[in-house]
Amino acid sequence: MQSETYRGFSVWGHAIKEQQEILEHERYAASGTVTKDGKFVQASGILAVVDSETDAENMGLEWARAWVDNHA
């Protein structure tokens, strides 16, 4: 999980590891979360499934920044 402060909000990018026994290689579901002053504001749900934990976290952060840009 990665987080940063963006325009007064805390934005989070999440990588949720898929079950290994089902898949041949590791895959990660990407999602994002927005909080402000320690309180939940919005979450994305699953954005995509990707091959890299870092890519999943970055995708979640990008979604969260875009949400702030469109709603704050």
* Contact assessment for residue 16 and residue 29, using Cβ atoms and an 8 Å cutoff: yes
Q: Which domains does the chain have, with CATH numbers?
A: 2-71 (3.30.160)
**pTM (two decimals):** 0.90
Terminal CA-CA length for the chain: 23
Tens digits of pLDDT across the chain (72 residues): 999 999 999 999 999 998 766 656 789 999 999 999 999 999 999 999 999 999 999 999 999 999 999 998
